[in-house]
Amino acid sequence: MSKEKIGFIGLGTMGFAMCYGLYKSGFSMVLPTYRREIDQSCSFIPLAPDEAAKTALYDEMLNNGCQGAANSAELFAKSDYIMISMPTTKQVEMNMYGEEGILANARPGTVVIDLTSADATSTKKLAIECEEKGIELIDAPISGGQAGATNQTLTVMVGGKREVFEKCRHILETIGDPKKVNYVGPSGAGDALKCINNYLSCTCLLASTEALTVAAKAGIDPEVAAQVIGSGGGSSNATTYKFPSLIFTGKGMNMPVDLMMKDIGLYTALAKETKVPSFYGNTSYQMFDIQSSSGNGGVDFSCVVKMFEDWTGVKLMGLKVEE
C-alpha cells in the first residue's frame, strides 16, 4: 500500500466508487468515518447496491490498511492529498472554511484535488487562498458516470498549475483512463470545460429527442432512426449511447434534474462572462427549468424525454422494456 495518504470527502455515487478503486489499486486512504452511517445508508450503485454491501466494502478498506478520521480536521491533517467529490460549489466551500476546514488544518504541501463540477470563479478564489497557506488546489471534474467511476475509466479535466497536475498524475490516471486524463489550463479551466461538456451533452439529448420524435411521427422506428443517425453525420453520444443504452432500456441517467441544470447554469453564466451569445444554452436551461419548476428537480433528468412523450404521444423511454 502506498505511503502517500489520500483523504476522500464525498462517498456518494461517484465518490465511493473512486475511493474504493484507489484502495484496490494500492493507495492508502483516509476515510471520513465520522459520517460513516450517513455515507453507508444512501447513494447506492452497482458496486454497492444496498447498505449491507456498501458497509462490507467500507469495512474491507478499514480492515486492510485504510485509516478512519474522527472529524474532518483529523482527515485533512492526516492527508497528503485531499480528494473532494461534492454535488455543488457550496459543499466544497463548506469543507474549505471553518475551524475543521482544509485551510485551517491541512499541512503545507498538501494537494487538494477537487473532483466537483464546481463554479470556476469560486475555484480560482479558493486556489489563491490555498496557496497562501502553502496548499495546492487543482480542479479535476470528471465525466463518465457510475460505470466510469467503477471501472476507473473516467475522463478527467484538470485546471491549475501544470507542475501540480504532474504531481497528481498517478492518482488521476488511477481513477480515469490515462488517455482521458487531460491538463486543460490554469485554475478554473477544468470546471469551465466540464460545464461546457455537460451543456453539449444535454443539448444533444434534447435535440436528439426532438429528432427521434419527428422520425416516429414520420413512420420510422425510433430505434432504427437512432442506429442510422448514430452512424451518420448527425451522430452524438445521445444517439450512440444514451438512447440505445439508457433511454430505450428505461434505465435513465442516474442524475437528478437540478444537478444537471446547475451545470447548464454554470455554462450560461460562463458564456455571459465571456460575452459569447448562448442561444442553445439558454434554451436547454429553460427546458430543464420546466421540470424543476414543476417540482421534478430531484427526479432523474431523463424526464425531459418524457416531456416530448407527453406532448406528442410518441413512446421513447423504456421502449425496449415493453417489447
Helices (H), the chain: 15-24, 36-40, 51-63, 72-78, 89-96, 102-105, 120-132, 145-151, 162-175, 189-217, 222-230, 237, 257-273, 279-291, 303-312, 319-322
Q: Which helix (H) or strand (E) holds 159?
A: strand 154-159
180 is catalytic: no
Strand partners of residue 152 = none
- Locate 18 and state its grid cell: 473512486
Which phi and psi angles does 96 have, rounded to 5°? -85, -40
Give the relative orientation of helices 51-63 and 15-24 as an angle to the nearest 10 degrees: 40
Kindly name the residue from 78, 124, 194, 242 that is annotated as catalytic: 194
Distance CA 232, CA 152 (A): 30
Rounded Cα distance, 246 and 316, in Å: 11
Cell 480528494 found at = 83
Say if residues 108 and 134 touch (Cβ distance below 8 Å). yes
For 93, the grid coordinates are 466551500
Active site residues: 194
